[in-house]
């Protein structure tokens, strides 16, 4: 059986590189080692220089010296949302994500009209879905396009964006969607908007409401995607395979879309 090859593959992930201009909690540091250092390692292991392969400069090597699992394009596990689920059971960590959830048909929800600090509602999601003609069901991967990926690499990225309400998040889950993602810094509204409204309304249900749905109805959530504007609203597949970090709350992931037309 011959697999259907996509006509185009779109990378939906951020590059990972030294980013000293970003906030400390998103900082990545990478040490790059030149080829020549490996020559001396091989010599110390016992191979005389005269027996080195011709034009052998040594191998390059690199070490990530600092990178939080949430620092770049990543996917959160239910463990991220709390130490127990609403029924008292233990939520899954990222290494326990079922592989069958990591690949599926994608649907893009266009939320670029939403202002900073504004909440994405069920009505917004229903209108976008109706306009696109797409359908939802088990295995579908939902992608929320806010356009805030244009701010990636700036200090304003984590401060800007709209955010999924608890109701809109639960609406996706009830439609059978267990993997979803967004191109802004976080799934919820920016922290400053959540905190301001929670204090003004004296309401303890406002902060992190989209994430906390996952304690009642576990789901898997991507953040810091990019390039969703390169995709059609549907008719493509998405792959999101996180690093297999044991017992972790999340993991960096290379997220790609496969377009067949």
225 neighbors 144 (Cβ within 8 angstroms):
no
Question: What percent of the chain lies above the pLDDT cut of 90?
Answer: 94
Query: Which residue has tokens 């201009």?
Result: 21
- By C-alpha distance, which of 254, 237, 255 is closest to 6? 237
Look at residue 100 in the predicted model and tell me its pLDDT: 98
Instruction: Supply the mean pLDDT for the chain.
Output: 96
By CB neighbour count within 10 A (0-12 exposed, 13-18 middle, 19+ buried), where does 188 fall? buried
The stretch 84-89 carries a mean pLDDT of 98
Look at residue 48 in the predicted model and tell me its pLDDT: 96
Spatial neighbors of 94 by CB under 8 A, at least 6 apart, are 69, 75, 76, 77, 79, 242, 243, 244, 245, 248, 249, 250, 251
Question: What percent of the chain lies above the pLDDT cut of 70?
Answer: 99
Q: How confident is the model at residue 96 (pLDDT cuts 50, 70, 90)?
A: very high
Taking only the tens place, the pLDDT of each residue in 204-215 is 999 999 999 999
Q: Is a pLDDT exceeding 80 seen at residue 31? A: yes
Model confidence, pTM: 0.95
Whole-angstrom Cα distance, residue 230 to residue 218? 29
Look at residue 250 in the predicted model and tell me its pLDDT: 98
Look at residue 128 in the predicted model and tell me its pLDDT: 98
Look at residue 22 in the predicted model and tell me its pLDDT: 84
Q: Is a pLDDT exceeding 70 seen at residue 185? A: yes
The stretch 219-234 carries a mean pLDDT of 98
Q: Is a pLDDT exceeding 70 seen at residue 1? A: no
Spatial neighbors of 243 by CB under 8 A, at least 6 apart, are 94, 251, 252, 253
The stretch 167-184 carries a mean pLDDT of 98
Look at residue 95 in the predicted model and tell me its pLDDT: 98
Residue 167, number of CB atoms within 10 A of its CB = 16
Q: Where are the domains of the chain?
A: 28-66, 71-259
Look at residue 21 in the predicted model and tell me its pLDDT: 80
Q: How confident is the model at residue 20 (pLDDT cuts 50, 70, 90)?
A: confident
Taking only the tens place, the pLDDT of each residue in 110-121 is 999 999 999 999
Indicate the helix (H) or strand (E) that contains 141: strand 141-145
Helix (H, G, I), strand (E, B) or coil at 53: coil
CATH 3.50.30.50 assigned to domain 71-259? The reply is yes
The stretch 149-155 carries a mean pLDDT of 94
């Amino acid at each position: 059986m011959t697999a259907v090859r996509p006509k185009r593959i779109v990378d939906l992930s951020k590059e990972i590189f030294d980013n000293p201009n970003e906030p400390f909690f998103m900082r990545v540091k990478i040490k790059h080692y030149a080829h020549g250092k490996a020559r001396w390692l091989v010599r110390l292991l016992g191979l005389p220089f005269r027996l080195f392969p011709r034009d052998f400069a040594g191998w390059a090597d690199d070490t990530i010296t600092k990178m939080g699992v949430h620092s770049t394009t990543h996917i959160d596990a239910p463990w991220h949302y709390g130490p127990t689920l609403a029924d008292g059971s233990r939520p899954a960590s990222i290494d326990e994500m079922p592989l069958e959830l990591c690949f599926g048909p994608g649907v893009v929800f266009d939320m670029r009209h939403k202002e900073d600090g504004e909440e994405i509602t069920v009505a917004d999601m229903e209108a976008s879905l109706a306009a696109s003609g797409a359908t939802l069901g088990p295995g579908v991967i939902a992608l929320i396009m806010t356009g805030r990926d244009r701010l990636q690499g700036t200090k304003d990225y984590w401060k800007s964006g709209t955010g999924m309400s608890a109701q809109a998040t639960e609406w996706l889950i009830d439609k059978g969607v267990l993997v979803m993602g967004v191109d802004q810094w976080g799934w919820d509204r920016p922290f400053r908007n959540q905190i301001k409204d929670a204090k003004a309304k004296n309401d303890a249900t406002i902060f992190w409401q989209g994430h906390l749905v996952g304690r009642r109805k576990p789901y898997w959530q991507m953040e810091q995607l990019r390039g969703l504007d390169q995709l059609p609203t549907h008719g493509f597949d998405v792959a999101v395979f996180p690093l297999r970090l044991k017992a972790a709350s999340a993991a960096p992931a290379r997220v790609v879309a496969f377009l067949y037309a």
